[in-house]
């Protein structure tokens, strides 16, 4: 009897094809603006799920011993390896801070206006946030959506020398125990309300610039989230696509403008905050890449798993970041399992 021929197709074929296309689209979304191809940004949004399916397809193909069929998946894996690290973390080990270096601990937390509109439990949620802050103190703590009226309460909880905040309503704020040489607002193009705040901090004669920003939110409303939970109809899909596409385009514009501001910094930079975008995205790539001050993602070196910071209907999203210039060395990174806002806080410890 003749040798049985191996089938050219298996279940791996039907998994690897679509998953590989999504993974490749996500990788392209890092360098192609959503202004040009909006669909690619959505590939970046689903990259973790697509990566899981792609990995499953690779395993099945290996079990089927289709070695020729492994050529393009292997090439794709080499191409996306940096995106994989951005998504699941570096699982790295840390060195000790040397006695000759400055040590800087820093955190960021979108406190969602301290729950003043009672999305959760109102005053109790606010008190729980304040309690957490009093137990977790850093040299620098950055906030998004912090009400100006809570400045004194938060300052007392942190024991900081000063909190600088944009004075209108709520917004980005920087609390620190270090000396502030100067600070100021950062405005996105075409907006008259600051989306960020920067501060030059002095520590043992060295100056670092902290940039705290809150980029464009997705802009979904209550009915939109319900559609996501229950499955959107055709009209809802069109609305969701349009709303999310507009947000992606806005963040792309904001990221370019912010990158220009970072490039003019006379001091080493730490950029952090609520970017409202996933790790595999045009906005994050734009913020990281530069000839002047290239930035590195703290989670990519020290994080583990998906590092989810968004608390909501879509689980597994990391949208809060700490990026740092090469002058700094990372020694710790933490994502805190806190659900007192629609974001979780993150922190890092650096030396320089």
Write out the chain's pLDDT in tens, 352 residues.
455 555 667 899 999 999 999 999 999 999 999 999 999 999 999 999 999 999 999 999 999 999 999 999 999 999 999 999 999 998 777 778 887 899 999 999 999 999 999 999 999 999 999 999 999 999 999 999 999 999 999 999 998 879 999 777 899 999 999 999 999 999 999 999 999 999 999 999 999 999 999 999 988 777 777 777 778 888 888 999 999 999 999 999 999 999 999 999 999 999 999 999 999 999 999 999 998 889 999 999 999 999 999 998 888 999 999 999 999 999 999 999 999 999 999 999 999 9
pLDDT, position 266: 96
CA-CA distance, 255 to 30, in Å (whole number)? Answer: 12
Q: Where are the domains of the chain?
A: 11-88, 103-351
Q: What is the pLDDT of residue 6?
A: 56
What is residue 232's predicted lDDT score, i.e. its pLDDT? 84
Return d(Cα 7, Cα 180) in angstroms, integer. Answer: 68
Give the residue from 111, 116, 152, 146 showing the smallest Cα distance to 132. Answer: 111
The C-alpha atoms of residue 226 and residue 46 are separated, in whole angstroms, by 19
Longest C-alpha distance within the chain, in Å? 86
Cβ–Cβ under 8 Å, residues 51 and 87 = yes
- Assigned fold of 103-351: Deoxyribonuclease I; Chain A (3.60.10)
């Amino acid at each position: 009897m003749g040798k049985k021929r191996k089938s050219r197709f298996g279940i791996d074929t039907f998994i690897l094809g679509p998953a590989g296309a999504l993974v490749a689209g996500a990788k392209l979304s890092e360098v192609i603006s959503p202004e040009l191809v909006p669909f690619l940004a959505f590939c970046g949004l689903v990259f973790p799920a697509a990566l899981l399916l792609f990995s499953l397809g690779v395993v099945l193909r290996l079990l089927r011993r289709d070695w020729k069929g492994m050529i393009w998946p292997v090439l794709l894996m080499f191409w996306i390896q940096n995106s994989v690290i951005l998504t699941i973390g570096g699982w790295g080990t840390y060195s000790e801070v040397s006695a000759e270096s400055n040590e800087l601990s820093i955190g960021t937390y979108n406190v969602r206006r301290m729950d003043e509109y009672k999305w959760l439990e109102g005053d109790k949620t606010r008190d729980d946030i304040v309690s957490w802050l009093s137990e977790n103190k850093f040299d620098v703590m950055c906030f998004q959506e912090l009400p100006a009226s809570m400045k004194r309460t938060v300052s007392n909880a942190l024991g900081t020398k000063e909190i600088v905040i944009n004075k209108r309503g709520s917004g980005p704020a920087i609390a620190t125990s270090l000396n502030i040489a100067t600070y100021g607002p950062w405005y996105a193009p075409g907006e008259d309300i600051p989306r960020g705040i920067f501060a030059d901090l002095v520590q043992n004669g060295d100056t670092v610039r902290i940039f705290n920003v809150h980029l464009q939110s997705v802009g979904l409303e209550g009915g939109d989230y319900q559609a996501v939970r229950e499955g959107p109809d055709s009209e809802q899909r069109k609305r969701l696509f349009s709303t999310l596409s507009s947000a992606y385009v806005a963040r792309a514009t904001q990221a370019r403008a912010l990158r220009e501001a970072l490039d003019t910094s006379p001091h080493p930079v730490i950029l952090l905050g609520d970017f409202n975008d996933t790790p595999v995205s045009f906005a994050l790539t734009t913020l990281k890449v530069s000839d002047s001050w290239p930035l590195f993602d703290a989670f990519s070196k020290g994080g583990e798993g998906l590092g989810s910071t968004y608390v909501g209907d879509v689980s597994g999203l990391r949208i809060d970041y700490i990026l740092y210039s090469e002058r700094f060395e990372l020694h710790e990174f933490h994502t805190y399992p806190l659900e007192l806002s629609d974001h979780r806080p993150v922190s890092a410890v650096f030396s320089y």
